[in-house]
Amino acid sequence: MAWAQKNSTAPESGAPRQETDTARRTELNLMGKTDTAGGESRRNENIYFNLVDNNALKELNVRLGTTATIIDQFRAEQGYFSAEFGNAPAPVIRLAPSSRAGFHGSLFAAHLNSIFSARTFFQVGEVKPAHENNFGFAGGAPLWKGSFLTLEGSENLIRGVVNGNVLVPRPDERAPLAADPAVRALLSRWLSAYPRELPNRTDINERALNTNAPQRVDLHNGSIRLDQNLGVWGRIFTRYLYTYQHVEAFELVSGQNPNTDTHAHTARLTWNRAWSADTVTDLSAGYDRIGSLLAPEKNAVGPNVAITGLTSLGPESGIPINRAQNLFRYSAHARLARGNHNWTLGAQALRRQFNGIESDTHRGYFSFTADFGRDAITNFRLGVPTQYIRAAGNVSRGFRNWEVALYAGDEWRVSKRLTLSLGLRWEPAATPVEVNGFNTIPYPCDCNNLAPRFGFAWRGPGRAGVLRGAYGFDYGEIYPVTYQQVRFAPPLNNKIVVPSPDLLNPFGGLGQGGALTVARPTTYVLDPRLAAPYAQQYNFSWEPELSRNWRLQLGYVGSRSNKLLLMWYLNRAHPVPGIPQTTTTVNERRENPDFAEIRRVINGSRGYFDAARISLVMPRFHGVTLNTSYWFSKAMDLGSGYSNTAYDADSRQSRSQNEFLASADMKGLSNFDQPHAFLTQAQYAIPAPGLGRGTARWLGGWSLSGVLLLKQGTPFTVGSGSDAPGFGNVDANGGDRPNIVDASILGRTIGDPDTSRALLPRAAFQFMQPTDARGNLGRNTFRRGGIRNVNASLTKEWAMRGEQRLRFRAESVNLFNTPQFAEPGFDLVLPNFGQITNTLNDGRTFRFWLNFLF
């Protein structure tokens, strides 16, 4: 088990980071990946997320949290936005020289089988048959004078079974109540999407069914690299990498998740030349293409149907997606050594093409909630929805934009004890353009983006060790998926919101000639002052000199992030004298009668992060090597964190209860906040005393590795669960929270199914009145259960003929089968409020590896 943490790709010093497998995992949303050496356990696949944008990163933030990371030096050629949370700095596109020479290679195969796996905590029955096969090769050899060719390829084939809990109708709820035969026929078809199995976990919820569904994942990787030495003209490095992922998603309820295909091409070309011992330049070009197709499964019911108290039908409203993104990258870099100064100068440019079709309720969306004096499931069986949303129009678009960076830096050795680093980046971001002229992006070039950075390292006398400090100013980006939302705005696309619609004819409220009477369109607006988010990051550390090469680091890291992206929901329905405060009248109570919601993307949030960290590295001591860290941290924001795109699910997470005083309403702990975290990685070389030479070759030389990860749980929010009268403020928007009547429970960790309802009692809350603006309960005031995970591996390597070696490894993930519980039911209106019904991690597994190196 090679040691690697989530932040292992964030270098403390040395060469800038190249692109890594960890980065591709979050960039491409690759499944079947687990950082076991960093203490991660396999995630529970029944918690689905769409495999696009930065959703994998956000899932990791909620499930694993972050890793407080001290960056020793902020290099001018790289961006470090969000690196303090353990994320890797932005990679450089130039290729580093290959470190191998001569013919070499390796073959590997790994197998995971369900016969060695343990059940998850809530699973009913035995583990279903499943397996994973991972195999591949790597090799390199010189082809002709000055050349070196490297080939790599791998496949990961997952034939899994996903176990999970879904909420299905009780036996007495499986027939429609509607009198109209056509309505009954439609409801019968929707009800048939639920499994025929009846609820079997009535101990946790009267409608809870624990069941299984197959999931298939095929992941293919291949790369080729050629290095060529040109003599006095320098060297040329080329690389091409292809990744293809096909996911046939699990369907615990028919059609609930889309199938996904991801194609990624990466090409790089670098010319490196040393003009002298003190002057080196690099010219690089790169091309990336990422294609993503997310399509509903063939058994999906059509529209997205949300029923409070039951698992929703159909994939979410943002499906289908058919997207292709082309990135053309260019860079020039120079390193100049002059006396005690090491200068770096360079320029980077990125041309982005963002093409394709996106969706926003184009399949239709029905919501059935507690309304009209009835519960949600009764309304569903009667065919009486609370709301219908449907979009129609041309949503095929092609966006283009430029991103540029110019930078200069100096590493100045002032004396034998003191080294200073200084740098400055200028990162103008041009205004995106829609090539067909269908939409206009309203905000101008963000051209004043100067990013200074500074650092020092001072070696004290004697064994005082080294003091380091660093400050960096870094910019994020306005995500393509953020600005592309203008495609959903009228007039080329219309998203119509109909309150209290007729189930069979939801647009029945349209008047003669198509004039809108009850229905209203939703529009999307980008703030004309929208700009790239930025963060100021700073840290200080002390590394005293210990005996026997032990390394101790005591440090602090903090950041302040500004202009974080957020969706502001405007034109909500407000109390109006003389108009009843009901769901039916929401469009009559909006300030602007021409629209339903006005969704405005703004720089509306700020982030605050502070952490103290202590790390100890113990070198080999009696066969034991140890690397351990503890960090204490706090992260807060105004409803939106550094990874928020202000789009789709992200926009709803940052939605305030009322459109006014949104920052005050949403200020709270960040979704990834974890005050306490402890990580230990240990390795022990097992001795084989008293064995003969031949016996020792086979029985000696085993090593045992283990990782212990302990973390406090991330926070969650208790919500009302309905916007209807008697539950919410009836402003036609979710996000309502109740009033707290027993403040003594605030801050509790709800992490045990046996005690969750007692720790989160329903009686501690009270629904707001219909004319109240908001409930008084804050955001993220409770915590999920924490992480208590141990991973372990046993490794043996045999030396064979020449440089040939055979390596075997047996690896266990979640060795003690410890559950990491998800948050309890957090909607006060639902019967499962306060009840934990799921885990965030999978049960114990074993994987066996065999690697032949030559």
Give residue 6's pLDDT.
Answer: 38
394 part of a folded domain? yes
Question: Cα–chain-centroid distance for residue 773?
Answer: 32
Mean pLDDT over residues 58-68, rounded? 95
378 neighbors 177 (Cβ within 8 angstroms): yes
pLDDT class of 512 with cuts at 50, 70, 90: very low
Q: Identity (one letter) of the amino acid at 91?
A: P
Q: Which residue has the higher pLDDT, 619 or 625?
A: 625
Nearest-10 Cα torsion for 70, 74, 77, 81: 60
What stretch of H or E contains 27? helix 21-28
Mean pLDDT over residues 522-536, rounded? 96
CATH assignment of the domain containing 539: 2.40.170.20
Give residue 803's pLDDT.
Answer: 87
- DSSP symbols for 673-736: --SEEEEEEEEEE---TT--HHHHHHHS-EEEEEEEEEEPPPEE--B-S--STTTS--SS----
Hey, is 389 helix, strand or coil? strand
Q: Nearest-CA neighbor of 610 among 640, 642, 636, 634? A: 634
Give residue 8's pLDDT.
Answer: 37
**Rg (alpha carbons) of the chain, rounded to whole number:** 29
- Please count the CA atoms within 13 angstroms of the CA of 23 that sit on its side-chain side: 14
Mean pLDDT over residues 417-425, rounded? 98
pLDDT class of 546 with cuts at 50, 70, 90: confident
pLDDT class of 547 with cuts at 50, 70, 90: confident
Give residue 767's pLDDT.
Answer: 97
Give residue 2's pLDDT.
Answer: 42
15 part of a folded domain? no
Q: Tokens for 722, please give them.
A: 């309905």
- Distance, CA of 12 to CA of 80 (rounded, Å): 12
Give residue 518's pLDDT.
Answer: 58
Give residue 282's pLDDT.
Answer: 98
Q: Tokens for 450, please give them.
A: 């100067």
Give residue 510's pLDDT.
Answer: 45
321 part of a folded domain? no
805 part of a folded domain? yes
238 part of a folded domain? yes
Q: Where are the beta strands (DSSP E) in 252-375?
A: 259-276, 279-295, 304-307, 321-338, 341-357, 365-368
Pairing of strands 418-426, 466-475: unpaired
Give residue 98's pLDDT.
Answer: 82
Give residue 12's pLDDT.
Answer: 39
Res 633 pLDDT > 50: yes
Question: Cα–chain-centroid distance for residue 680?
Answer: 24
In angstroms, the Cα distances linking 238 to 154, 226, 606 are 20, 5, 41
What stretch of H or E contains 529? none
Give residue 511's pLDDT.
Answer: 37
Mean pLDDT over residues 663-673, rounded? 97
- Length in residues, the chain: 854
pLDDT class of 24 with cuts at 50, 70, 90: confident
4 part of a folded domain? no
CB-CB neighbours of 172 under 10 Å: 6
**What is the residue range of 728's domain?**
21-208+222-306+328-853
Mean pLDDT over residues 103-110, rounded? 96
Q: In this predicted structure, which of 173-177, 241-245, 367-371, 749-753 has the lowest mean pLDDT?
A: 367-371
For residue range 453-490, list pLDDT tens digits in order: 999 999 999 889 999 999 999 999 999 999 999 999 99
For residue range 126-143, list pLDDT tens digits in order: 999 999 999 999 999 999
Give residue 700's pLDDT.
Answer: 72
Give residue 780's pLDDT.
Answer: 98
Q: Tokens for 627, please give them.
A: 């690397």
Q: In this predicted structure, which of 54-68, 98-112, 432-446 has the lowest mean pLDDT?
A: 98-112
213 part of a folded domain? no
pLDDT class of 7 with cuts at 50, 70, 90: very low
- Distance, CA of 22 to CA of 6 (rounded, Å): 8
Q: Tokens for 710, please give them.
A: 């302990």
In angstroms, the Cα distances linking 690 to 218, 646, 693 are 47, 65, 10
Mean pLDDT over residues 540-568, rounded? 94
739 part of a folded domain? yes
- Distance, CA of 253 to CA of 211 (rounded, Å): 10
Give residue 693's pLDDT.
Answer: 62
Q: Nearest-CA neighbor of 434 among 442, 426, 424? A: 442
Q: Nearest-CA neighbor of 270 among 346, 353, 214? A: 346
Give residue 667's pLDDT.
Answer: 98
pLDDT class of 763 with cuts at 50, 70, 90: very high
Q: How many domains in the chain?
A: 1
